[in-house]
Structure 1
Amino acid sequence: MTKLHRRLRQGLALTVPALALATALSGCATAPPKSDTADYQAYQQLNDPLEPTNRVFYNVNDKLDTYFMKPVAEGYVHITTQGIRNHVGDFASNIGEPARMLNFMAEGHSKDAGTSMVRFLVNSTVGIGGIFDPASAIGYPETDTDFGLTLATWGVPAGPYLYLPLFGPSGVRDAANYPVEWFATPMEAAPASAALSDFGYSETGLHLVNTRAELIQPIDQIKATALDPYATFRSLYRQSRASQLQQIEQRDNRTWPDWYRQPAQ
């Protein structure tokens, strides 16, 4: 079994059980009777048929965040500066450029794919491994996409909302992004070694803590003011994904034929 296959299986192992468990527990999500027209239509519009199960996962994640992730993130903020955290974010973003390049190619956005390639080459060398972002300064700003958005441009529907254990807000379509991101990294092209494996895990952990640190205030504000934080996070996630997809759809830089592309619902 190749290293790529092992990584792919490991990545799938993170998401497939969660999806299977959500499907198996779907019987717990009971829709209002169709005779209750208003309630039934509202339930359908939410596209959250697994809401009872999703809320269980949300509550578990919330406890893990309250007693572990948030304290770690607060300690991290205490011992670092905003500048350091920005560089950590740039480094993590640079590691994701090859995956973005592949997704842009699959979407038919070859110019964006070229931008991602240039960004990776420039920032990995002149930017010292991506710690700095000189590519933006010379006219190659970061553009974002992922495999979930790529599937959307192919016409794959979003599917029901999911709140995945450990990962948080997602959907059936977007959950496919996790294994793709896992193995579409520069580390996969390097020879396997214990040191490289340790580096990968360390980078992932640092990225998670750094991201959580940047979200301390927004998350605290939502929890303090929202009547239903679960519903608020669900709404914000959907708005964010819809905005990202709209930006991709509106880009006027497609240079490849539209063989398969259909707007997703």
Structure 2
Amino acid sequence: MSRPSTAPLLRRTAMATLLALSVAVLPAASQEAPAPALNVDHSGFTDDQVAQIPGEDVNDPLEPVNRAIFWVNEGLDVVLIRPAAKVYRTVLPTPAQKGIRNALRNLRSPLDLTNQLLQGDWDGAGNVLKRFLINSTVGLAGLIDVAADNGIPYEYESLDQTLAIWGIPEGPYLVLPLLGPSSLRDATGTVGEYFADPVSNYASNTDREWANYTRAGLLALDTRAEYIEALDDVKRNSFDYYASMRSLYRQRRDGWIRDGQPAVDQMPDIPDYDN
């Protein structure tokens, strides 16, 4: 009896890696808000001192290995990813870039909806459905974000956020080869989402792997192009670029988990007037 071919599994594993890269190449991928002012400079602080900053939990037991991988990834970004993103932004006019970004978000609707449901956020799930129906029809297959123009903005939801809400610890901070900043929980969620994504599964099962590669490549290029100046600013103004990127990743991820709400330990004390 002949052994079953491993080619489909290898193709799907390769696509999982590429899609993970497109999500993790930046800590802020697929977020609705514009590129933020990345004020995370820890100039003059050692890692032990950074760990004492309120709200800054390093959680990086593999730091020597992570730093080595980080600089390999940075070399790849300097040589390949950033130049490709600059060409992408130069060749495509801003409306075309925005249309691609909108369409990519629309394709992610099944994952956003599933995560909203798993988190018990019924209002959020309803908004995902409304956005998908509106943008897939009136918005020309998602190229135009008509829903956002009518008060239903995009909200990124990931399996990492879902697992966090369920109380699963993040695990150690990781820098993955090619994939960039992550954590044990985040990396698990990224791979899990790929294998559960009905859009990528349909493409793979109908011999349209090219669609998955195109989608992943566009997501990586569009995201990197959007944050060229922001990341250049972090690199230029950081005493320790690695520590700044680690801090930025964790702040943005925690912000997503809280849906933009402030952390409890950052909220002001309320006087007790009854005493």
TM over 0.5: same fold? yes
Relative to 1, partners in 2 of residues 1:40 and 1:134: Cα closer, same or farther, differing over 3 Å?
closer
Determine the structure 1 residue equivalent to 2:199: 186
Q: Which residue of 1 aligns with 2:17?
A: 14
Match for 1:92: what amino acid?
A: L
Partner of 1:113: 125
Alignment of 1:163-202 (within 5 A): 163-183=175-195, 184-189=197-202, 192-194=205-207, 196-202=208-214
Matched letter for residue 102 of structure 1: T
Q: Deviations over 1:93-121 (max 9, x none)?
A: 11111101000100011221121122122
2:245 counterpart residue number: 233
Identity of aligned pairs, percent? Answer: 36
Question: Where in structure 2 are the equivalents of 1:83-98 lying within 5 Å?
Answer: 83-98=95-110
Going from structure 1 to structure 2, the CA distance change for 1:105 and 1:70 (only over 3 Å counts) comes to same
User: Match for residue 78 of structure 2?
Assistant: 66
Partner-residue secondary structure (3-state), 1:46: coil
Task: Give 1:224 deviation, angstroms.
Answer: 1.2
How much has 1:129 moved relative to structure 2? 1.6
Higher relative contact order (CA 8 A, sep 6+): 2
Residue 256 of structure 1 is matched in structure 2 by: none
Measure how far apart 1:128 and its partner are.
1.7
Question: Which whole-Å CA distance do the structure 1 matches of 2:158 and 2:245 have between them?
Answer: 20
Aligned to 1:142: 154
SS at match of 2:175: strand
* Aligned equivalent of 1:32: none
C-alpha displacement at 1:229, in angstroms?
Answer: 0.5
Q: Structure 2: how far apart are the matches of 1:102 and 1:236?
A: 27
Q: Which amino acid aligns with 1:182?
A: Y
Asked if the contact 1:96–1:185 (Cα under 8 Å) also holds between the matched residues in 2, the reply is no
Three-state SS of the structure 2 residue aligned to 1:101 is: helix
Question: In structure 2, do the counterparts of structure 1 residues 7 and 246 end up closer, same or farther at CA, with 3 Å as the change threshold?
Answer: farther
Structure-to-structure mapping, 1:5-44, within 5 angstroms:
6=9, 10=13, 14=17, 42=51
Give the match for residue 220 of structure 1: 232
Whole-Å separation in 2 of the counterparts to 1:162 and 1:141: 31
On the 8 A contact 1:153/1:249 being kept in 2, the answer is: no
Q: Secondary structure at the match of 1:162?
A: strand
Q: 1:47 aligns to what?
A: 59
Whole-angstrom distance in 2 between the partners of 1:235 and 1:216: 18
The structure 1 residue matched to 2:138, chosen from 123, 126, 131, is: 126
RMSD of the TM alignment (CA)? Answer: 2.9
Structure 1 gap ranges (5+):
16-37, 251-265
Q: Within 1, Cα distance between the matches of 2:229 and 2:105?
A: 22
Per the normalisation by structure 1, the TM-score is 0.76
- 2:88 is matched with 76
**Normalization by structure 2: what TM-score?**
0.73
Report the Cα distance in structure 1 between the residues aligned to 2:248 and 2:209, rounded to whole angstroms.
34
Aligned-pair distance for 1:171?
0.7
Distance in 1 between residues matched to 2:57 and 2:251, nearest whole Å: 14
Higher helix share: 1
What is the distance in 2 between the residues matched to 1:102 and 1:160?
26
Cα deviation, 1:146-187, whole Å, max 9, x if unaligned, reads 100000000011111111111111111111221233231424
One-letter code aligned to 2:88? Y
